Amino acid sequence: MTQLFERVFSELLGTALLLAIVIGSGIMAERLADGNIAIALLANTAATVGGLFILIEVFGPISGAHFNPAVSMVMVLRKQLPLSDFILYVLVQMIGAALGAWLAHAMFDLPIIQISTKMRWSEGQWLAEVVATAGLVLVILRAPSAKVSAMVACYIGAAYWFTSSTSFANPAAVFGRMLSNSFAGIDPHSALPFMAAEIVGALLAGVLSQVLGDKSI
């Protein structure tokens, strides 16, 4: 029971910190970029890459550092995570995402409770989320164990720029960003298609990994 608590709390805290990093750096970037969206996105990307690397290094040995229901789902399908743990993981990932959004707002003296009005609604963005999530999960499944943190962080940094959706790649992140009317936000009407696309992408990655065969390292 103690180990389960540690793993679940690790997912809660790690997801909260991840969302605080993504949303907080977006708020700071938008304030400092003086309307230059490219510079704001670059700053948001850099903070996310660095923060994600650190979070995986810190929490990976405890819970696997999923911070992402799509990742946890694939681990259940691969029999690397019990279904009972999966339910707890997803619950705390969603709670953590909300807490992270609220923490970012508090740090920047913004209203804590918000709902995003930022529309992200197009077939291209849905396809981008399939690609972004498939790539993320494939990296997680195929990367050498000692390099997972760096490779995941680098992939997400690249996907911020090569996908039209800026690579949410995480249903919990979508939920948290739905609760922030800021640079990183997504309005509720856009959220469900993003989540569905991410689930499709994660399942696709599982199939691709099987086609590629077992990891050698």
Average pLDDT for runs of 10 along the chain of length 217: 92 98 98 97 98 98 98 97 97 98 98 98 98 98 97 98 98 98 98 98 97 75
| Closest to 145 (Cα-Cα) out of 66, 60, 71, 59 | 60
Domain positions in the chain are 2-212
pLDDT reported for residue 212: 95
pLDDT reported for residue 2: 79
pLDDT reported for residue 16: 98
Residues 101/18, Cβ–Cβ less than 8 Å: no
pLDDT reported for residue 216: 52
pLDDT reported for residue 1: 61
| Closest to 60 (Cα-Cα) out of 75, 47, 79 | 75
Domain boundaries 2-212, CATH class: mainly alpha
Grouping H, G, I as helix, E, B as strand and the rest as coil, residue 18 is helix
